[in-house]
């Protein structure tokens, strides 16, 4: 696993979201895309292996963790709907991710600013 900086964390999050959306469009199966758990995506791997340990003194890191977990909870619902054949419901559920995804990005940017200022 490579070391992530905050820019890479943001890019990895956006790529994860793109893959999820793509899995709704091209009928991908869960077995082809396993990053449903908040600990399995690149951001989660970084968060739980180094991010929280290194930056746990920034309270926003804990908010990031909660928001990231909430995002993956929605992703799990999306995948379950998709796999049960409810593509319309899955796409509607995906639309709920926008504000939460934006919050993940904003939190990463804010923690990065705090780290740079410390």
In the prediction, which pLDDT does 89 show?
A: 94
Q: What residue spans define the domains of the chain? A: 9-22+36-117
φ/ψ bin of 3: left (φ > 0), alpha (ψ from -120 to 50), beta (otherwise): beta
The DSSP call for residue 33 is -
| Confidence at 73, pLDDT banded by 50, 70, 90 | very high
In the prediction, which pLDDT does 64 show?
A: 95
Q: Give residue-wise pLDDT tens across range 7-28.
A: 888 998 899 898 888 888 765 5
Q: Are the CB atoms for 15 and 64 separated by under 8 Å?
A: no
Q: Are the CB atoms for 71 and 104 separated by under 8 Å?
A: yes
Residue 106's nearest CA partner among 67, 75, 55 is: 67
Specify the higher pLDDT residue, 65 or 5. Answer: 65
Provide CATH code, domain 9-22+36-117: 1.20.120
In the prediction, which pLDDT does 74 show?
A: 93
Q: Is 109 exposed, middle or buried (0-12, 13-18, 19+ CB in 10 A)?
A: middle
Across residues 81-100, what is the average pLDDT? 92
**pLDDT of 2 strictly over 50:** no
Specify the higher pLDDT residue, 118 or 31. Answer: 118
What pTM does this model have?
Answer: 0.84
What's the CA gap between 103 and 85, in Å, rounded?
Answer: 29
Two tokens at 39? 């600990």
Q: Give residue-wise pLDDT tens across range 24-69.
A: 876 555 444 556 778 878 888 888 888 888 898 999 999 999 999 9
């Amino acid at each position: 696993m490579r070391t992530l900086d905050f820019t890479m964390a943001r890019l990895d999050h956006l790529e994860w979201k793109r893959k999820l959306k793509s899995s709704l469009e091209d009928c991908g199966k869960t077995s082809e895309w396993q990053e449903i758990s908040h600990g399995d995506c690149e951001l989660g791997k970084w968060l739980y292996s180094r991010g929280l340990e290194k930056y746990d003194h920034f309270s926003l890191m804990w908010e990031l963790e909660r928001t990231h977990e909430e995002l993956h909870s929605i992703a799990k619902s999306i995948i379950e709907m998709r796999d049960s054949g409810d593509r319309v419901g899955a796409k509607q559920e995906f639309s709920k991710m926008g504000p939460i995804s934006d919050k993940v990005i904003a939190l990463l940017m804010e923690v990065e600013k705090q780290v740079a200022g410390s």
